[in-house]
Structure 1
């Protein structure tokens, strides 16, 4: 076929979950730029912001329209009622609209073959969606590290500097991305996993035993959630780039399936 008739490969489409916020006294939906840039540059995908509006989002439309889902980190916390705990203090930043938009959809999207990458709150959302629980103040527990970001007066890049090592569990999805059994990551969270959700696999742990990465064990497609923030380190961290690149490859494969030029992945 002449080169002029060769159709260029379509970029996969990644829906980036947003937060519901107030902007100029209006309801708005937002995502930090780091996620957009990482999806575009390191994953090689087209980033689309998905509003945290439960009336506007449904799984069938997502399956038809996008090739992957990025569950972003956020200043907000998953409501404790979502995992059967007492309500968080009134001063805690929460996002009920995001909870209502994301949590009911995740198991069905995963079962239908959607690639998922979760970051920070995204890891916690995936855990809660599968029946797990969260510790609302990891730093207050005996023997735990202080995983919070520290002084907010520092320049933003310093928030995302490496803070502690993780142990990568052999044989898992994350181990397939990095050849190193141990690596350094940043840390910007105060909540963490208390009880692991049903059907989830631990992919990495912190030195204090806290779950730092997980996947959906039975899912044949890419499903990975990490407690740290690789989106802010794709410029200087090989592991961060590989996480997004592998996610992008999975999304491209799903795009080929949607286009009818590749077979769907089958379950384990």
Structure 2
């Protein structure tokens, strides 16, 4: 059986390489490397118009919403805190459309850092706009322990308390409708959210692509492979 195709959202940023200085669709290399190490095929998904999200997700076996800029507070009905970063409105709209398409189609979905926060907002949740102690300093990945909640999807993939690479100053506040917290930091910060039920949906607040533990991504790839098998059977029969 061929490997499942895992799409990873990217973002447009000014970039310089060689003789070029122009906008580029960027993604830290840790994301595709982690997908590949977990047994999947990685596909970078550049920003597009939100109505295109359904067609994009239909071509994928699984989807990762990558980390990055703060979600604009208007998305969850809040005024911006002075410490909240500048809005990335087009990215917010595109990635929320991707999340909506994945949820509607049952496509396995993993949100990483910002991706988990967007998952919460997509379900009507809110965010804490600033907290301390979850980075190693400006531009430096920190590390802290995460404790799984027994009986959750996350705990089935990573059953023990473990140290994770972390870099965020925002977090889930009011948990979105239907979501449950499946891991906590020692200070009580929700570190993983998931949607119970048949469809594989998980968000983690840390950055597994910056660490050495592939288990969360392996779980996504495994779910994507399971969903791919019936599709391949139908294609072979037609």
1:78 alignment counterpart: 71
- The whole-number CA distance in structure 2 between the counterparts of 1:261 and 1:38 is 29
Contact 1:160 1:233 in 2 (8 A): no
Alignment partner of 1:166 is 2:166:
no
TM-score normalised by the chain length of structure 1 = 0.79
Change over 3 Å in CA distance of 1:64–1:164 after alignment to 2: closer
Q: Would you tell me which structure has more strand in proportion to its own residues?
A: 2
The Cα of 1:261 is off from its aligned counterpart by 5.4
- Among candidates 147, 161, 178, match of residue 158 of structure 2: 178
1:211 alignment counterpart: 190
- The whole-number CA distance in structure 2 between the counterparts of 1:199 and 1:170 is 18
Gaps of at least 5 residues in structure 2 are none
Equivalent residue runs for 1:3-152 within 5 Å: 9-23=1-15, 26-42=22-38, 44-54=39-49, 57-59=52-54, 61-74=55-68, 76-87=69-80, 89=82, 92-139=85-132, 146-152=133-139
- The whole-number CA distance in structure 1 between the counterparts of 2:167 and 2:63 is 22
Change over 3 Å in CA distance of 1:91–1:138 after alignment to 2: closer
Q: SS of the counterpart of 1:131?
A: coil
TM-score normalised by the chain length of structure 2 = 0.89
- The whole-number CA distance in structure 2 between the counterparts of 1:233 and 1:90 is 27
Gaps of at least 5 residues in structure 1 are 1-8, 140-145, 153-158, 235-239, 263-268
Contact 2:165 2:211 in 1 (8 A): no
1:156 alignment counterpart: none
Change over 3 Å in CA distance of 1:63–1:189 after alignment to 2: closer
The Cα of 1:31 is off from its aligned counterpart by 0.7
The Cα of 1:147 is off from its aligned counterpart by 1.1
- Among candidates 168, 182, 191, match of residue 170 of structure 2: 191
- The whole-number CA distance in structure 2 between the counterparts of 1:88 and 1:260 is 51
Alignment partner of 1:250 is 2:218:
no
Contact 1:132 1:197 in 2 (8 A): yes
- The whole-number CA distance in structure 2 between the counterparts of 1:241 and 1:90 is 32
- The whole-number CA distance in structure 2 between the counterparts of 1:179 and 1:149 is 25
Moved more, 193-202 or 240-249: 240-249
1:223 alignment counterpart: 201
